Chain A
Amino acid sequence: MTQYLIRRILISIPTLIAISIVIFTILALAPGDPLAEFAMNPAVPPEVRQRIRQSMGLDDPIPVRYVKWASSMLRGDFGYSFRSKSPVIDLIRQRLPTTLYVIGTAYLLSVLIAIPVGVLSAIRQYSIFDNIATTLAFIGFSLPTFVTGILFILIFSVKLGWLPMIYRTTIETEGLAGLWEKIKQALMPIMVLALFETAALARYTRAAMLETIHQDYVRTARAKGLSERAVILRHALRNALIPVVTIVALSIPGIFTGAVITEQIFRVPGMGSLLISAIRDNDTPVIMAITIIFSALVVLFNLIADILYGVLDPRIKYE
């Protein structure tokens, strides 16, 4: 296993390099212009626009730009954003806590809710509980987040006035009152995200559990006289977790870039909205920084998932 681990870690390096080259090339080739806002502005004549392009290094050939970027990245310098001229590292640092706090919590919540619900649904297949859970889950993921987001805003902000609809990172109130403020404003985005994620994860859990509880060894465990609880938790769940682990491992990196629409609606300044606005503005340094971090996380979590497979199902061996 350790050999496998070392091999995997070694392979990740060329993988990340390859990924960065592909992404950089796509960004360089994709249409769109960091200077789009000037096109309509008569005060910025073409020569000025051209000069600005040159100052951003946009006119260098792609391999040159890539090497420049890669060499500064290796030194830990993620460069300066085209848009804000502020160091990319600072932008990321500003957004990270919010991302973890809002989107991380939502995801954690969804895992904590989805797995028990999925298990219960499977054990009592087609019962009332299962049917309600299924229907709710389907509502949860057939409706895109912008619909559920607006619905929540209408109910909790407009009609009831309980929760604020704009997320503020600048709350100054100290102590308990301040904490309550922070919780209140995070509630709706967390609910919206958790709804969507829980729905999907619950379905996977349920399907996986249904597979497992019909297996022979589960029947054996019951026949042995084990309590239902032990049967489920100690025997069935382990194997059911394999697809669940796969999905969770795929989704965790998504915390950083996936909640774009929710972040937009509630104006949560997370990494997702930073990425999207960087993409819109063709702000290459920012996009590259975020996607590199993201791909490192993807590679890392897929590795963790692969190792967990081995733990959960001892029959899985890696050569």
Chain B
Amino acid sequence: MSEMTEQRRTAVPAQVGTREAVLLPQRKPRSLWSDAWRQFRHHRLAVAGSFVLIFMVLATLIGPFLWPIPWNHFDMAEALQGPSLEHPFGTTDLGHDIFARILWGGRISIAVGVVAMLVAVVLGTLIGAIAGYFGGILDSLLMRITDMFISIPSLPLLLLITYLFQDRMKAIFGIELGMFLLIVLVIGGLNWMPVARLVRASFLSLKQKEFVEAAHCIGVGTGGIIFRHILPNTLSPVIVAATLGVAQAIITESALSFLGLGFPPDIPTWGRMLYDGINWIEFAPWMVLFPGGAIFLTVLSINYVGDGLRDALDPRRMFAV
């Protein structure tokens, strides 16, 4: 942020208090965040992405209450029908309404995707930042731990964790919340390693830069340097990792249900719907098209939102506003 502040200072008109200055329209003092917001607003795709995302979240939250057909209702007589007025996204091989299931399952898919990604990103960023900034033994230790996590085969670990913790989580948090927490912790906990390595690499390079030295000089503490100065400049690969992470998390959740972990098998998360529909792809392509499209849209919007965020926070990208 300090680079941004530097730039800001040079933009302020030098002569204050002169006649010209008095005649100049006074601008409200701007905070850095509002600047970022304006920058974001200029990024058309980011704005579009945010709208799509918000729309999807609202649709999955409210939609199931508005749509007449329940997600778990099925009628064999209506099986394998293509999109129609009654079933805008068609029906499954048992006669479920796909639209209703996309709305209902979307809650879980989006929630799992976003939260698991956040867990991975936050954890990875923290570890990478500390390792990259402090170097030495701390770096070595943290990176060896990272190596270990990368090496562990996820399947037995998942089975073990479920076996050990599933019932306990359900008991403490209730069936649904317990399951949800276990899944996002597990997915996030197994995907933070690339983020950590990326952030650390950035830190190794950035901590040598002049602005860090400058921040030291003016007395910014370690925490401040890490979080307010260096970190915002490392966001670029982190955002890519985040968008990839959401897609991965949505798919991984369905993979978990095949191991007997995760949500009960009748919950139609998007990844699960893809798997259930894949055998029918020639005969009933809508079973794959719509869940795949939903994942695609979600990931795409998150990506553009991320792009916008990065551009907004990047001082070099700022144009005179």
Contact = CB atoms under 8 A, between A and B. Distances in A.
Direct contact of A and B (CB under 8 A): yes
A15 B156 contact: no
Interface in B250-275: 251, 271, 274-275
A178 B57 CA distance: 53
Given A243-B198, A279-B155, A208 B236 contact: yes
Given A31-B159, A210-B236, A287-B156, A147 B247 contact: no
Interface residues of B, number: 55
Nearest to A215: B316
Given A279-B153, A295-B151, A315 B205 contact: yes
A101 to B, nearest CB: 23
Interface in B262-321: 271, 274-275, 278, 281-282, 288, 292, 295-296, 299-300, 303, 310, 314, 316-317
Interface in B21-40: none
Contacts of B240: 203-204, 207
B194 interface: yes
A11 B192 CA distance: 23
A58 interface: no
A246 B202 CA distance: 10
Interface in A249-279: 250, 253, 257, 275-276, 279
Given A143-B292, A316-B205, A138 B300 contact: yes
A200 interface: yes
Nearest to A131: B45
Interface of A is mostly: helix
A295 B157 CA distance: 15
A41 B193 CA distance: 43
A5 interface: no
Interface of A: 11, 15, 18-19, 22-23, 26-27, 29-32, 126, 134-135, 138-139, 141-144, 146-147, 150-151, 154, 158, 200, 203-204, 207-208, 210-211, 214-215, 239, 242-243, 245-247, 250, 253, 257, 275-276, 279, 287, 291, 294-295, 298-299, 302, 305, 309, 313, 315-319
19 contacts: A15-B147, A26-B156, A26-B157, A27-B156, A138-B303, A143-B292, A143-B296, A146-B275, A146-B278, A214-B314, A214-B316, A214-B317, A246-B194, A247-B198, A250-B197, A253-B150, A298-B150, A298-B151, A315-B205
Given A23-B151, A316-B208, A317-B208, 12 more contacts: A15-B147, A142-B299, A154-B281, A154-B282, A214-B317, A246-B198, A246-B237, A291-B151, A294-B151, A299-B147, A305-B197, A319-B135
